[in-house]
Structure 1
Amino acid sequence: MAATIYHNPKCSTSRKTLQHLRDAGVEPTIVKYLEQPPTRAELEKMISDAGIEVRTAVRKRESLYKELDLADASDDQLLDAMAANPILIERPFVVTDKGTRLTRPVESVDEIL
């Protein structure tokens, strides 16, 4: 099975998701999204394909979220901010042929394996 994980090695949930994939026999393509951020269009597609709201895909606890005053931002403004500042993207996203999930909790990745 082909899978891609948008991964931050410093994030425990991201590391656990990667291990969960490997334990399931899947060796995913690893995209370190802080170094290789998705485009705005790719981000918008992942969020849509995951069936979540744009606001759900934003790391609200990130200090930059507050600094950029994103609490009342529109979806377009949030997408622009995440594309320009990938640290604002909630993690990890996993994409397979069966779908896309923001894998919080980790076990939600099972839905697309």
Structure 2
Amino acid sequence: MQASIAYTIFHNPACGTSRNVLAMIRHAGIEPTVVEYLKTPPSREKLTELIAAMGTPVRAVLRQKGTPYDELGLQNPELSDAQLLDAMMAHPILINRPIVVAPGRTRLCRPSEAVLDLLPPLPGPFAKEDGELVIDAQGNRVV
């Protein structure tokens, strides 16, 4: 495996999607920097930088399922980006995952196959944890 500081994954090992993304990155021969963001949350500045690099609204990075999203009233469309960032800083579980930083690109990789756009071609075959084939024996994406 090649060491690479060029790839970083903001990862939650309890999340199947995040585990599958990490496995695909490693299958590509890349050992990314793994940031378990619940143990080591990104700073507000770093999170703002990641969101800007993805080119998505702050709200698009909010995770709803299994979080205090509803209890905090985050569905309110009048909340500012700053207020949404405040909530993510106070409750890192609200940050959707996995976010992958690759050379020149940053992406929220949901579904997990989204990471393939950030990677060199993967050798085949590759299947997700649940057995779903993503890359066939010839190295082609399975749609």
State the TM bucket, normalised to the shorter chain.
over 0.9
Looking at structure 2, the residues matched to 63 and 17 of structure 1 have their Cα atoms a distance apart, in angstroms, of: 21
Give the superposed CA RMSD.
1.2
Larger radius of gyration: 2
- Equivalent positions of 1:1-113 (< 5 A) are 1=4, 2-72=6-76, 73-113=79-119
Looking at structure 2, the residues matched to 4 and 58 of structure 1 have their Cα atoms a distance apart, in angstroms, of: 19
**CA distances 1:47-97 after superposition (whole Å, capped 9, x unpaired):** 110111111100122341111111112211111110121010000001122
Higher strand share: 2
RCO higher in structure (CA 8 A, sep ≥6) = 1
Higher helix share: 1
Gaps of 5+ in 1: none
TM-score (normalizing by structure 2)? 0.74
TM-score (normalizing by structure 1)? 0.93
Looking at structure 1, the residues matched to 61 and 51 of structure 2 have their Cα atoms a distance apart, in angstroms, of: 7
Looking at structure 2, the residues matched to 90 and 30 of structure 1 have their Cα atoms a distance apart, in angstroms, of: 15
Instruction: Flag as ranges the 4+ runs of structure 1 deviating above 4 A.
Output: none
- SS of the aligned residue for 2:48 comes to helix
